[in-house]
Structure 1
Amino acid sequence: MPTFENSDSTADNVHSDRRFGVEHGGIHKPIHTSVQYGFDRIEELIGVFQGTLKGGYSYARQGTPTSAALETKITRLEQGVGTISFATGMAAISAIFLTLLRAGDHVVSSRYVFGNTNSILDTIQGFGINVSKVDAGSVAAVEAALLPTTRIVFVETIANPGTQIPDLVAIGDLCRARGIVYVIDNTILSPALFQPRAVGASLVVQSLTKTIAGHGTALGGAVTDTGLFDWTQYPNIAATYRKGDPTLWGLQQIRKKGLRDMGGTLSPEQAHSISIGAETLNLRVQQTSATALALAEWLAAHPKISAVHYPGLPSHPHHAQAKQLFKAYSWLLSFELHDAAAMSDVLNRLQLPIKATGLGDTRTLIIPVAPTIFWEAGAEVRAQMGIADGLVRLSVGLESLDDLIADFAQALA
């Protein structure tokens, strides 16, 4: 089949997992459920274990032909050199931290990160890894936090739920100059709206569950290496993995230690579901981003709404950067009511948005943030992250704009 060098083309979303052939002429890559894989000659089996035989499989915990097809698709979408898939986005993030860091190392993270990411950052401090959480909207704050032992800077393209955006370009320049691994969580935007490679990211991580799969029916995560980081200079790559192409040393260590040893394997059934979902990625993000922008504008003009947080609004503190870097502003927005005490009544009157956690579904999802997904973090952390008691998160789906506005109008009335 033809290859498509322009990663902006939707052809990559639809066809990339077929690049190496599909069994029996099937239109979709099939689901391979086999756990073990046999070989004609014992030398081939040895080659898989030692990494000299490319494209072979030994045991499904380290991957299957089905997950490999998905990894090819994600790699091309992010313009990277390789991808590893995981059972969830949190498994992918945990694998980065637990395989690339050692006791005494230091991480600088945006303080505006997903609640579970914030939790794993707290967990690794118990292992002797130091963590500084800063306002990454300012590269000066990131630079001030750096130590000689800083190994990773971690940010999200758009923070969930507050929609803060880091100084992505300047942080990339800083990490490149200091030889620091720059990890960007691209879950909200997906490569359809932004490729972190453009700002110098070393590794791109995402929850495939959300924008890429898009239908709320499959869990998955991925780590993609952009090929921009010089792993020969990274002190924590074990001698065992300092073989072959140095560009792939980081991924090799993450796959062996973070996937094989920790076991957060993406099932072939889920990999197949995610790959099918990715075929409509561009269409979905175009519509949901357009609907979210129009709904954000409508909510911002409503007298009962005190604040709307959405990068597409000129009032957003990082609007100029978002307009420069992103193709659209995504489906994620949050808002606050003037009367926070009325929040439950308003949400209960809504008919279309589903009262549920989760993000990036075809259906609009709504949740009050402070008493649910950030309850465990505590009031002090919520205050540091700018999460008001009345903050409401909205994941905009594929419903029509007119229907959503009509529903919010009656609920707010």
Structure 2
Amino acid sequence: MTDPKKYGFTTTILHSDRQKPIEHGALHKPIHTSVAFGYRDARELAAVFQGKQPGYRYGRQGNPTVSALEDKLTKMEDGLGTLCFSTGMAAIAAVMQGLLRAGDHVVSSAFLFGNTNSLWQTVAGQGVDVSFVDATDVNAVEAALTPATRVVFVETIANPRTQIADLKRIGELCARHGLLYIVDNTMTSPYLFRPKSVGAGLVVNALTKSIGGHGNALGGSLTDTGLFDWGAYPNIFDNYKRAAINQWGLAQLRAKALRDFGGSLGPEAAHHLAVGAETMALRLERECSNALAVARMLEADERVAAVHYPGLPSHPQHALATDLFRAYGSLFSFELRADVDCFDYLNRLKLAIPASNLGDTRTLVIPVAHTIFYEMGAQRRASMGIAESLIRVSIGIEDTADLVEDFRQALAPR
């Protein structure tokens, strides 16, 4: 396998580790648990610390097992390089910690994962101005720009109401203004969509979700696509300008976010995530088809008030999703009619599990307003279109007929 670019997505990921020598001919990169890395020549150790030659300094800043996963993710996103973190939230926080300064301005989609919304509010309290806008409309993003704007941040498909950002036009807007365009690809995954195709400079993935896929390891990543001109970014410290310009962003993120704040991914988790990634395409094919089947059944039932899934023609951004994505994703949400109690409904499900995660092999459900979005309050939930009866569904790989019947029978007799 000498030319990985000529192979398909799954073939490339399966054989990624073997692009570099592996100890003892192992098919997987082994789990390296050592925190420290010794050198026979002290000058070599100094050269590694000074960035003059490749190598490992300390486990908080890198590890061979984690590096192998980073290589996989870079290939998945067709990127320049990747940094892994302990969680998806640590990866997003790295942007604030490593690239923003007091007085900067960020334009963010208003339709965000609850913890990301909370994090932006924290950042706003530390001197970075944040504007939340309807990212389904590029005009709303443009209207929010100021001379201090450094970053535009969006999710591909919003969790949980599945609004889809105007991804391509926002990318064109950022290119015209020289802005760093960051796209959280968690809800689509690199298999369904590559944000590089719409001009993203940095791509976020919560590895815990579809990439790992089995709910057994936390992780997050930032991938530099190579499209952003770091030479024009005003917040790069001189220390990190010694490398090639296209490496400045990753160099500063590794030092200022990963090293200084310590949200490092451990080797055991990296191994789980790397192995899980091998079957991502297979899982997502099944999950997306399952999600569409269940969403169609629910939309046709009179006891359901609304279903929010990009795969349905009734979705406001159905045409956009069809144009952008390989498939419509494994997550949807729905609202029950007023006389159907959401807790009673959830308790009648036999297969779907009430739990807070997504992208798992098992189908998971959660009452959104009462759990993951409870802290933000009713007013903010209403502004995001989150009804009190909204149920989020992360569809798994169960047999389609079994899932359709489970969600149908839980609606109770007509």
Q: Report the Cα distance in structure 2 between the residues aligned to 1:36 and 1:99, rounded to whole angstroms.
A: 24
Contact 2:111 2:163 in 1 (8 A): yes
1:59 is paired with a residue whose SS is: coil
Cα deviation 1:270-329 (Å, max 9, x = unaligned): 000000000001000111001101111111101101100000111100111100010001
Unaligned runs of 5+ residues in structure 1 are none
Say what the alpha-carbon RMSD is for the aligned residues: 0.9
Could you list the runs of 4 or more consecutive aligned residues of structure 1 that deviate by over 2 angstroms after TM superposition? 6-9
Name the structure 2 match of 1:135: 134
Q: Report the Cα distance in structure 2 between the residues aligned to 1:99 and 1:342, rounded to whole angstroms.
A: 45
Q: Report the Cα distance in structure 1 between the residues aligned to 2:299 and 2:130, rounded to whole angstroms.
A: 36
Contact 2:369 2:388 in 1 (8 A): yes
Name the structure 2 match of 1:51: 51
Q: Report the Cα distance in structure 1 between the residues aligned to 2:162 and 2:318, rounded to whole angstroms.
A: 10
Name the structure 2 match of 1:326: 325
Cα deviation 1:42-74 (Å, max 9, x = unaligned): 1210111011112x1010000100000000000
More divergent stretch after superposition (328-337 vs 400-409): 400-409
Displacement of 1:348 after TM fit?
0.4
Displacement of 1:341 after TM fit?
5.2
Name the structure 1 match of 2:181: 182
Percent identity reads 58
Contact 1:7 1:77 in 2 (8 A): no
Name the structure 2 match of 1:380: 379
In structure 2, what residue type is equivalent to 1:186?
N
Q: Report the Cα distance in structure 1 between the residues aligned to 2:324 and 2:374, rounded to whole angstroms.
A: 32
Name the structure 2 match of 1:71: 70
Q: Report the Cα distance in structure 2 between the residues aligned to 1:118 and 1:354, rounded to whole angstroms.
A: 25
Name the structure 2 match of 1:15: 15
Q: Report the Cα distance in structure 2 between the residues aligned to 1:308 and 1:13, rounded to whole angstroms.
A: 34
Q: Report the Cα distance in structure 2 between the residues aligned to 1:137 and 1:269, rounded to whole angstroms.
A: 38
In structure 1, what residue type is equivalent to 2:5?
E
TM-score (norm 2): 0.98
Contact 2:74 2:82 in 1 (8 A): yes
Name the structure 2 match of 1:269: 268
Displacement of 1:409 after TM fit?
1.9
Cα deviation 1:141-172 (Å, max 9, x = unaligned): 00000000000000000000000000000000
Displacement of 1:21 after TM fit?
1.4
| Structure-2 change in CA distance of 1:50 and 1:108 (3 Å) | same
Name the structure 1 match of 2:405: 406
Name the structure 2 match of 1:225: 224
In structure 2, what residue type is equivalent to 1:11?
T
TM-score (norm 1): 0.98
Name the structure 2 match of 1:82: 81
Name the structure 2 match of 1:290: 289
Contact 1:13 1:280 in 2 (8 A): no
Contact 2:9 2:191 in 1 (8 A): no
Displacement of 1:339 after TM fit?
2.1
1:105 equivalenced with 2:88 (yes/no): no
Unaligned runs of 5+ residues in structure 2 are none
Q: Report the Cα distance in structure 2 between the residues aligned to 1:119 and 1:136, rounded to whole angstroms.
A: 18
In structure 1, what residue type is equivalent to 2:11?
A
In structure 2, what residue type is equivalent to 1:266?
L
Name the structure 1 match of 2:343: 344
Contact 1:205 1:223 in 2 (8 A): yes
Name the structure 1 match of 2:210: 211
What count of residue pairs does the alignment treat as equivalent?
A: 412
Q: Report the Cα distance in structure 1 between the residues aligned to 2:8 and 2:174, rounded to whole angstroms.
A: 26
In structure 1, what residue type is equivalent to 2:178?
G
